[in-house]
Amino acid sequence: MKHRFLTIVLICFVSALVFVLSFALFAVTAPSHGKSGAVPIEIPQGSSLNKIASLLEEAGAIRGRFRFKVLAKLLAVEHGLKFGEYQFSLPATPLALLHKMAQGDVVAYLITFPEGSTIFDVTRNIDSAGLCPGPVILKKATDAKFATALGIAGASLEGYLFPETYKFNRGSSPEIILKRMVERFNRLFDQAMAMQAKKLGLSIKDVVILASLVEKETAASREKPMVAAVFLNRLKKGMRLDCDPTVIYSLRLENPAFNERLTKNHLRKISPYNTYLNYGLPPGPICSPGLESIQAALNPAPVTYLYFVSKNDGTHHFSETLPEHNVAVNKYQR
């Protein structure tokens, strides 16, 4: 009886040892047949371990999805595998594949959003890069509930998608993409800026709106504080801002492809963004301003200018009185 018991124990031990060794061998052995070289494999968001194993087997990266799944469970990485587009160098061991996916070592795409980008520009750039369908991004960027959840005082994320170069993964959700851009704005708009806005009697939203107007009016760094001053001076005097970019934005809200020269009819078009018809700041930003324009809005130049007109060379002529402004308009525009 004792001999029989020892035999059973020995058989169980050997079987367990063979089982462990077989998985150890499987883990560190690359398939001898299948694709070789750099092979892209995309793991969709929300993929189960079974789905991941199937995708890898279909791509020739592994042989035996069952053992792959068991290995992932044994290594306790079953629920830690990241989605995204991977560039696997095949042949590779199952252990190496699991390590790469557990680390989230996915292909990252650099995408740059220039200063002054609107939500339509952001949508188009993301769509063109193949990261996420444009309509999906636009729908989320104009979702008032989503904006509120991110702490944005407005019906959309316009103005708060900070212009910069970002790294995104293909297949990233619109929430992930947009949240990262808003978080970048929140990190840059610090407590000192909030205090400065308060000194000027402006809310953070007011500052972003004003900065977006500055961003669209001039690209010249030295002019930005003066443009901000002109708008603030006009607001203090109860004057309309008469800002062409706000009219353009109102027209693009109706037709994102609008790219015409403004006419008198355009300036008469009723819209809450038309600052030729309405007093005060428009209801929201007209683009996402860069840090320089935000700083200009917070630190306007100590000037008494009320007008400016383009000199057609990227700069502007500033005036304190309407007669002086009319002379400049005749000189540079007519």
CATH topology agreement for domains 29-103 and 108-188:
yes
Determine contact, residues 193/205, Cβ cutoff 8 Å: no
Please give the average per-residue pLDDT across 218-234, as a whole number.
Answer: 96
- Residue spans of the domains in the chain: they are 29-103, 108-188, 191-303
Nearest Cα residue to 204 out of 145, 156, 160, 256: 160
pLDDT at 327: 94
**Tens-digit pLDDT profile for residues 156-213:** 999 999 999 998 887 788 999 999 999 999 999 999 999 999 999 999 999 999 999 9
For the chain, what percent of residues have pLDDT higher than 90?
57
- Give me the CATH topology for the region 29-103: Dna Ligase; domain 1 (3.30.1490)
Whether 8 shows a pLDDT value over 60: the answer reads no
pLDDT band (50, 70, 90) for residue 7: low
**Tens-digit pLDDT profile for residues 292-311:** 999 999 999 999 999 999 99
Select the highest-mean-pLDDT range: 6-15, 254-263, 273-282: 273-282
CATH of domain 108-188: 3.30.1490
pLDDT at 2: 55
Rounded to an integer, what distance in angstroms lies between the CA atom of residue 287 and that of residue 118? Answer: 4
Rounded to an integer, what distance in angstroms lies between the CA atom of residue 321 and that of residue 307? Answer: 7
pLDDT at 76: 86
**Tens-digit pLDDT profile for residues 100-116:** 889 888 888 899 999 99
Whether 280 shows a pLDDT value over 80: the answer reads yes
The secondary element (H helix, E strand) that includes residue 39 is strand 37-43
Which of residues 47 and 26 earns the better pLDDT score? 47
Determine contact, residues 298/168, Cβ cutoff 8 Å: no
Determine contact, residues 118/258, Cβ cutoff 8 Å: no
